[in-house]
Structure formats: C-alpha cells, structure tokens
C-alpha cells in the first residue's frame, strides 16, 4: 500500500519560496555546514557584518527569490572591507536580471555577506519529489556550479539519482553508491554521509518541495560546505510549520497575485494585453490557447473558481485592471454548478462596483446560458460584447485590442 499521507497533492499546488540566507538558517538547524554569514539591508552595516564574520575574503550576495544571481552580477567576491561595502552598495537596490527573473528583473532589497570559501571542488546536491516514481529523489553531480537543467538535458548520466522509499528513509548503501559514483575518496565518506542524511531529514521534516545546493563545495581540507541554498516548500503543508511561514517575504511576490489569493481567486500575470477571467484551470489553459490561436496574447488569467459571485467578479475586474497592459477582458465562464444567469448578474453588479473602461467580451455557456444572454442584452451596457461561443469570444477579444 502506498503511503498516502505525504504524496497526495492538490491540483492547485503552490510552493512557498524563501531566501538563501533563510535556507541557510535551516541548514544550521539540521547540521548542514555553511560558511558564516549575515543578512543586511543597509550598506552601512556591510563592514561591521564582514568584521563579525572574520576572515580575509567575503562573498556579497543579492537575496532574491531567483537563482542565476552570480551570472547576473548579483554575487561578488570582496577582498577587503572597503570592497565589501562597495559591493553591498552596488548590489542593494539594483534591478537584478537573471535567467530566472524574466527580462524585467527583480529589485534587490537584502544582501547576504558570507565568508569566502576556498573551493577545491564543486558538486551539486538536490532533492525533489519525483512524480513519475512517486517518491522523493536525491540527486548528486560532479557538475556543480553549472546550470543543472543544462546538465540534465545534455549529459543526464552525470546526475546520479537515489530514489528513496519514505517508509524506510535514505539508506546507507544509497549514500555510499552516490559517493562512489561522484568519485569521492574514502576519507571523504563520513562527512558526505552526514551531509546527505541531514539534507534528507530537512526535506522530509519541513515538507520541502525542492532543496538545491549548487554548488556544494569540497574544501582543500576535505570539508563539505553548502555555498548556495535553495529551499521551497509545499504550500499545502505550511499550516504545520508556523516558523517557516514567518520567513515568507511578500516583497518578493507579485502584488496582484497576493491580493487575488486573499479573495480566493488565483491570478497569474503574463505579458500580453487580453485579460482573462475564467472558472477552472483547464478552461484557463484553453482560453489562453485559443487567444493565441487567434493571434492575440493573454495578459493574465484569473480563475474565479467555482463560487463566482458579484463581489468576486468585481474584485477580479479590479485586479485585472491594475495591469495597465490590459486592453480588453475576456470573460469565459462555463456554468455547471454556478449558473450563467448568476454570472451575468455578477458582471453587471461588478461593473457598478468597479469602473471597467475596456471592452468586456463575455462568453457564458452551460446552465442557463440563454437567460444570461438575455440579461446582458437587456442591460445594454456599451462596453459589454457577448460572444456566441469560445472561438467567437477569442476572436472578438483579439479584435478589441486592435487585432492580430
């Protein structure tokens, strides 16, 4: 029988991210070695922090919820205290663009100063839930410091995997096998063993979704140290971990997505100009596909869920309209449990609560669709355009934003 308690994930799975410095605080709790470090938010504190840490070389690292910081100029090695301050000044407040932030980048509000480590060898170590085999998988590789996605695509044999049965936990032979395959020496085994075991415990205890240490470095004196730390958690389990929830940094999250969450709506921002209000994730996907098929580009999708009411629809319009790129809103709702006439009334109510100054293209189908069409027609509101079906709705929406 499968252990159902850990692996049942709900469809709307979300993850909660934390910063590197926070992930490293957790590493300390689990006995995973890290360099000494301190997070600061003001460059004036940089020298003091570096002095406290000690040593003669420091890494000054941008703290954002995205990786690839080094390549983007968000990680600098300072050789003296003056450089520590200079780099902290440079990085704090910069708009850091990395392969993971998207072209708009991310504002750096926090910097982590940590002791510089003399790197003898770089490895990768990570843990994820492998959906195909339905167990957590530990991965190690000699290709540390590289983009692991690239390694996986080009030289998958260089990623060594251990599938872990959660009823038995990570077994010693699995750790030995990984150590052997990445070419570790006998004298390095013990340290590696505890490193792997502690990482596994952290992953399982804290309901992590992913943990990545890239690079995991081996020092000249055979110590393993986590130089980077990425940890994200399964949102659905966070009710069990109040201390981790406190680590959430709202400044790193999309404000409109946060606001939508408060009202039970799920909103995802995209780059186009057609706002999409839908019910259900499947309909959201097909709505975006058909808009693209008609030559348009969705600005977002907002899922009002099963309980669309006038107030949720109004809130939805408000959130969608906060994005200045939105030039039309396509309301594409299939009435099953929620009846179309209620949605139609909801739309009318919503336009009274929130001023909508772009065309609203409405496609309502399913239960009571005819009644809904009559309600909208009789209301005779100038910027509401009714569509006969999905294709028609998409076409009208793309036309409303100026066509293909």
Whether the CB-CB separation of 206 and 233 falls below 8 Å is answered with: yes
- CA-CA distance, 334 to 306, in Å (whole number)? 10
Shortest reach from residue 48's CB to ligand ADP, in Å = 18
Rounded to a whole number of angstroms, the CA Rg of the chain reads 25
- In the bound state with ligand ADP, the residue whose beta carbon lies nearer, of 101 and 273, is 101
Q: Is 227 in the site for ligand ADP (CB under 6 A)?
A: yes
Residue 145 touches ligand ADP, criterion: CB under 6 A: yes
**DSSP code for 262:** H
Annotated catalytic residue within 114, 212, 294, 318: 212
> Is residue 121 near ligand ADP by the rule CB under 6 A?
no
| d(C-alpha 224, C-alpha 218), whole Å | 5
* DSSP H helix total and E strand total for the chain: 14, 19
Q: How many residues bind ligand ADP (CB under 6 A)?
A: 17
Transcribe 266-324 into DSSP letters: EEEE-SSSEEEEESSHHHHHHHHHHHHHTT--B-EEEE--S---HHHHHHHHHHHHTST
Instruction: Establish whether 87 is a catalytic residue.
Output: no
**Could you tell me the end-to-end alpha-carbon distance of the chain, in angstroms, rounded to an integer?**
54
| Residues making contact with Mg ion (CB under 5 A) | 214, 228
Interaction of residue 70 with ligand ADP, rule CB under 6 A: yes
Which of 65, 69, 342, 363 forms a contact with ligand ADP (CB under 6 A)?
Answer: 69
CA-CA distance, 347 to 343, in Å (whole number)?
6
Distance of CA 385 to the CA centre of its chain: 35
User: Of 64-72, 233-241, 296-304, 306-314, which segment contacts ligand ADP by CB under 6 A?
Assistant: 64-72
Rule CB under 6 A: choose which of 32, 94, 114, 140 binds ligand ADP: 114
Give the span between the Cα atoms of 178 and 155, in whole angstroms.
17
From residue 116, how far is each of 62, 148, 317 by CA, in Å?
15, 23, 50
Name the residue nearer to Mg ion (CB basis): 215 or 280.
215
Query: Considering beta carbons, is residue 214 or 368 the nearer one to Mg ion?
Result: 214
Which of ligand ADP, Mg ion, none binds 69 (CB below 5-8 Å, type-dependent)? ligand ADP
59 binds ligand ADP (CB under 6 A): yes
User: Does the annotation count 21 as an active-site position?
Assistant: no
CA 128 – CA 349 distance, rounded (Å): 46
- Distance, in Å, from the CA atom of 98 to the CA atom of 73, rounded to the nearest integer, reads 9
Is 88 one of the binding residues for ligand ADP (CB under 6 A)?
A: no
The reply on whether position 110 binds ligand ADP by CB under 6 A is no
Which position among 21, 87, 112, 124 bears the catalytic label?
Answer: 124
According to CB under 6 A, which one of 215, 335, 359, 393 is a site residue for ligand ADP? 215
Q: Which is nearer to Mg ion, 63 or 214 (CB)?
A: 214
What is the nearest approach in angstroms of ligand ADP to the Cβ of residue 92? 16
Catalytic residue list: 124, 212
| Residues in contact with ligand ADP by the rule CB under 6 A | 35, 59, 61, 67-70, 75, 77, 114, 116-117, 145, 214-215, 227-228
């Amino acid at each position: 029988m499968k252990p159902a308690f850990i692996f049942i994930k709900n469809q709307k799975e979300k993850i909660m991210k934390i910063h590197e410095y926070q992930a490293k605080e957790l590493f300390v709790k689990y006995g995973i070695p890290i360099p000494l470090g301190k997070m600061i938010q003001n460059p004036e504190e940089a020298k003091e922090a570096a002095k406290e840490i000690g040593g003669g070389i420091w890494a000054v690292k941008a703290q954002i919820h995205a990786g690839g910081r080094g390549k983007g100029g968000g990680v600098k090695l300072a050789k003296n205290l003056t450089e520590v301050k200079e780099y902290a000044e440079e990085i704090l407040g910069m708009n850091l663009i990395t392969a993971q932030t998207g072209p708009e980048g991310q504002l750096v509000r926090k910097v982590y100063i940590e002791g510089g480590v003399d790197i003898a060898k770089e490895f990768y170590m990570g843990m994820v839930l492998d959906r195909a085999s339905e167990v957590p998988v530990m991965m190690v590789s000699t290709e540390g410091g590289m983009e692991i996605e690239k390694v996986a695509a080009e030289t998958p044999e260089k990623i060594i995997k251990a599938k872990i049965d959660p009823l038995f936990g990570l077994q010693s032979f699995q750790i030995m096998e990984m150590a052997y395959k990445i070419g570790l020496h006998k004298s390095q085994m013990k340290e590696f063993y505890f490193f792997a075991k502690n990482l596994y415990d952290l992953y399982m205890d804290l309901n992590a979704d992913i943990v990545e240490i890239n690079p995991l470095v081996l020092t000249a004196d055979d110590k393993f140290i986590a130089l980077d730390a990425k940890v994200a958690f399964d949102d659905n389990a966070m009710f069990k971990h109040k201390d981790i929830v406190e680590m959430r940094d709202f400044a790193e999250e999309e404000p409109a997505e946060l606001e939508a969450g408060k009202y039970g709506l799920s909103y995802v921002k995209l780059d186009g100009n057609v706002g999409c209000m839908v019910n259900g994730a499947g309909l959201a996907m097909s709505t975006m596909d058909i808009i693209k098929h008609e030559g348009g580009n969705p600005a977002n999708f907002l899922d009002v869920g099963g309980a669309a009411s006038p107030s949720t629809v109004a809130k939805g319009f408000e959130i969608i309209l906060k994005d200045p790129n939105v030039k039309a809103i396509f309301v594409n709702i299939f009435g099953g449990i929620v009846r179309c006439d209620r949605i139609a009334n909801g739309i009318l109510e919503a336009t009274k609560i929130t001023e909508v100054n772009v065309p609203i293209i409405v496609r309502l189908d399913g239960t009571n669709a005819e009644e809904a069409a009559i309600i909208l027609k009789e209301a005779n509101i100038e910027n509401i355009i009714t569509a006969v079906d999905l294709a028609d709705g998409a076409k009208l929406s793309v036309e409303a934003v100026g066509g293909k």
